[in-house]
Copies of this chain bind each other. A is one copy, B any other.
Amino acid sequence: MKIKKLKPLLINIFKKHDLNNKHAEISADALINAELVGAYGHGLSRLKMYCDRIKKKVINPKPKIKIKKISHSITHIDANNSIGFVAADIGIKKAIDNAKKTGIGLVAVKNSGHYGLSGYYAEQAVKKNLITMIYTNAPPAVAPHGALKSLFGTNPICFGTPTGSKIPFILDTSISMINRGKIRVAARNNQKIPEGVALDKFGKPTTNAKKALQGIQLPLASFRGSGLAWMVDILSGVLTGGNHAGRVKDPFEDFSGPQNIGHLFITFKTTLFVKNYNKRIKDNIKTIKKLPKIKGIKEIMYPGQNKYKRFKVNSKKEIKISEIIKKDLENLKK
């Protein structure tokens, strides 16, 4: 489907689910972006879930979002259980404003929901010539080191910086061996997942995506990854006033209440300490790209480069809609 046809369709679906025009557009844009960068687990495959949560009143389509100024640099946002896209959009924009004013921005969001890709918000800050660090928690998927039960989300660590070129450096890495979204997509399509990334609910290794969803995802690098996941839970949950310690509900399976996810946005100017940041980062990337390469590697890529290429290529094409999603769209627009 062409983007210019898909976007109004999505906006219409969100508006039918009581979102106002602006919130519907923010949400549609986020879903389309996920499709364009190839992050299908964060794209249209989630549309029905968002609508279901609105219907079941665990996402608030008409939120009264409170923005509390703590200082010129620091802001606290109570998203009143809005759809996550809207909360995160306000959060990153506030963080950008604060950094533009004072050099640094720190924005905490509570009572939010799943907001899609951290990198999507990081790009906004980078476009404004800021460095950004973004943290969010998520429903239990990864077991703490030593535990037999999932508690941490895949809790991404996201970092973005301008590069002095049009392709931003966006590191957006979950602390699990693979993204939960990819396992979901595999489960929907009856595909296998790689070995060594998940255990079933009995603690046994599995390549069955459905069994993995019921079981435990493994953190990267054992105790180190577990520690990073714990850090993200503290920064985005304990600190912000959001849910934490495994209490974020699974958006697909648990409609007993809102998710109350927390996000943390940190932003700062690139030129606080050096005048020639863009020149320095260009030199950094150029130096690294010139290193001798492993056989078969054509180019050493920085984080975000592949994603940008996918975005550029896919933006010129129609978005492929699977049969399952086609049905979702049909049902939801009624």
Residues of A within 8 A of B (CB): 70-71, 73-74, 76, 102-104, 106, 108, 110, 131, 143-149, 151, 157, 159, 161, 169, 171, 173, 177, 203, 220-221, 223-225, 227-228, 230-231, 233-235, 237-241, 244-246, 266, 268, 270, 272-274, 277, 280-281, 283-284, 287-288, 291-294, 297, 299-303
Contacts and interface: CB of A to CB of B under 8 A. Distances in A.
A110 to B, nearest CB: 7
A220 B231 contact: no
A280 B110 CA distance: 14
Contacts of A266: 266
Contacts of A225: 220-221
Contact of A239 (B103, B245, B273): B273
A283 B245 contact: yes
Contact of A291 (B103, B106, B151, B244): B151
A272 B221 contact: no
B272 A173 contact: no
Contacts of A157: 228
Contacts of A224: 173, 220
A182 to B, nearest CB: 14
23 contacts: A70-B272, A73-B73, A73-B103, A74-B104, A106-B268, A108-B272, A144-B300, A145-B301, A146-B293, A146-B301, A147-B292, A151-B288, A157-B228, A173-B224, A173-B228, A221-B225, A230-B302, A230-B303, A237-B284, A238-B274, A239-B273, A244-B284, A246-B288
